[in-house]
Amino acid sequence: MGVVQERSSEYAMEIRDLAIRYVTDEATVYAVNHIDLKLRPQGTLGLVGETGAGKTTTVLSILNLIQTPPGVIDSGEIFVNGRNVREMTPAELSEMRGKEVSMIFQDPMTSLNPVMTVGEQIAESILLHENVDKKTAYEMAKKTLETVGIPGERAGEYPHQFSGGMKQRVVIAIALACHPNVLIADEPTTALDVTIQAQVLDLMRKLKESYHTSTILITHDLGVVAEICDEVAVMYAGSIVEIGSLREVYKNTLHPYTEGLFNSLPNMGDRASELRPIKGLTPDPTKIYEGCTFAERCPYASEECLKRRPQLKDAGENHKVACLAYEREGFAIERSRKP
Amino acid sequence: MLFKKSKKIDDGRSIYVKKSRMQEIWHQFQKNKGAVVGLIMLIIIIGIAIVSGFVFDYKEDICARHAATRLIKPCLEHPFGTDQMGRSVLARVLYGTRYSLLIGIVVVGVSTGIGTMLGAIAGYYGGKIETVIMRIVEIFMMIPNILLGIIFVAAFGISLTNLMLALGLSTVPHFARTARSSVMTVRGNEYVEAAKAMGVSDFKIIFTHVLPNALSAILVQATTRVASAIISAATFSFIGLGVPSPTPEWGAMLSDARQNMRDFPHLVIFPGLAIMVTVLAINLVGDGLRDALDPKLKR
């Protein structure tokens, strides 16, 4: 046990063999199927995938916030700073949430309480985790607001008095109020327009540097990932299909699904070219697939792909891919064939 | 008008500042003329309730018998006439305001307190807890209010306190249901999940995040329930299960006047009017509040 604990504390956060399904009367949805994720201290991991790929479920499990029922965690261990989240008592959990791991939610319009001033909302987190009185907490909240570029005097205002971009900054301020080691950002820029997105990303990058926070960034925007991540994990139907350093995954793309994601981006160099979306729809999450979940939509699929489940295998330095096609001699996807 | 001119910035210029939530609600409320009239009436009624406690001597003016002045019809000296005991109906009606408002507020206080807690717990946790609480609440809802009140008063005796408790308990289910449904809509909001992710305890989440946001529906319900509590109390007093005589409760006054109603209608007209005016004022305010707090009707 001791050995295991020590090894896992190399990482700020580590997920091992996590499997989660949602059970309802009608069906069982296999949301996350045996995934492993590691987050290096001060690293930024981008979690990319379509809606419904299990990204949010994965990160919610880090905070042990999966609703049970309907959620069932079948297997897996989650370590935060070397401690297993699934073995924590409610008191330890509440201590860990917000202090060690905190989360930025997708929609800043709804993730702030409309009847509390923003200062009170930031102070609430500080009051919970730091040993200070109300007044000090409020002063600290003002300072935190200033670090995200909002004047401290505005702490007494209500969320509806802020613009969307400013609200997202407030949400970031709440998440960073107690200087967490791990910050989870669940699509922090999706609800914002492009110019504000750039501001928020810029802010996140700066804060990450000054607070030495490790970050998990969920997004389906490959541009955002290129902007601030140093590692990328691509999720498809509850599994990780490709994982590696940003450079490896972007320059030396291996999985056909990742290629499909890149192909669906508009090409700025050739504006006349048509988008090439991935054919078909995401697989039915209530079905158990014998073979590769992507096989039905994959242009390179063979008979073999429908029969056997691919496992993540090393494919270069700090790069793993789950694809059976690479067992064939000399296989390369179209993107990599280009000079 | 969403903006008001108020805040002075450093160099002395005034800038336009967005209205706070309370100001916005007040602005919406003002637009409804009926609600404003209701509010003015209600303020006057509350004023009467407070002042009458100082002006009238309870024993001398309200309860003492005066054989010489029995059953005088309204005249200059006795604007509302006198009753069968020779007491001024005006004094009793004015003094009765205190009882009716007290009953309304205590009844709603009791039922809002208990009902909102039960409903909030049921709505927030869901599942088995919800099923158990709501089924019990629904069982209580099946029993007619009057019957529940009669059972209560029969068991514990006739008194003002028992009447208020009985009425309060019989209104609990309505509040539990209202609270549950509004808590359920608030529960799904991201800021509740964000609070959980921050490590805030369930108890604190219910009180600081969920209930304040679910309050508007409960508040509207509470206002209108004050009116119905006043009516129910009058009903109970009329059938002799409420406030015992000689307390000048309006329902009790109606009950006392039954025998002389035909010849001296002023005995029932004035207490009846008092009930009507008070209930009308509260209902007008309640309607105005409902419209002002409804986000769909905003702007």
Give the span between the Cα atoms of A48 and A246, in whole angstroms. Answer: 12
pLDDT digits (tens, 9 = 90+) for A23-66: 888 888 888 888 888 888 888 999 998 888 888 888 888 888 88
- Chains A, B: CB contacts within 8 A come to 71
For the beta carbon of residue A328, count every other beta carbon within 10 angstroms.
Answer: 10
Rg for chain A, CA atoms, rounded: 21
Q: What is the pTM of this model?
A: 0.75
Give the Cα separation of B254 and B121 in Å (integer): 41
Looking at residue B132, its pLDDT comes to: 95
Give the tokens for residue A339. Answer: 């000079």
Q: How far is B283 from chain A (nearest CA, A)?
A: 26
Q: Which residue of A has its CA nearest to B127?
A: A69
Task: Give contacts of A161 with chain B, Cβ < 8 Å.
Answer: 18
More confident residue, A70 or B283: B283
User: Per-residue pLDDT tens for A213-240?
Assistant: 889 999 888 888 888 888 999 998 888 8
**Inter-residue contact A106 to A187 (CB < 8 Å):** yes
- B90-297 is classed in which CATH architecture? Orthogonal Bundle (1.10)
* Alpha-carbon span A243 to A37, nearest angstrom: 9
Local confidence band at B68 (pLDDT 50, 70, 90 cut-offs): confident
- pLDDT tens digits along A115-156: 888 999 999 889 888 888 888 999 999 988 888 888 888 888
Task: Give the percent of chain A with pLDDT over 70.
Answer: 96
Residue A79, beta-bridge partner list? A14, A84
Inspect the interface and report whether the beta carbons of A171 and B194 lie closer than 8 Å. yes
Share of chain B above pLDDT 90, in %: 30
pLDDT of residue B46: 94
Q: Domain segments of chain B: what residues? A: 90-297
pLDDT band at A288 (very low <50, low <70, confident <90, very high): confident
Q: Do A65 and B189 touch (CB under 8 A)?
A: no
User: Are A105 and B193 an interchain contact pair (Cβ–Cβ within 8 Å)?
Assistant: yes
Q: What is the mean pLDDT of chain B?
A: 85
Q: What is the pLDDT of residue A6?
A: 45
Chain A closest-CA separation from residue B17 CA (Å): 9
Query: Judged by CB atoms within 8 Å, which residues 26-65 of A form the interface with B?
Result: 63, 65
* Cβ neighbours for A48, distance < 8 A, ≥ 6 positions apart: A55, A219, A220, A222, A225, A232, A233, A234, A235, A261
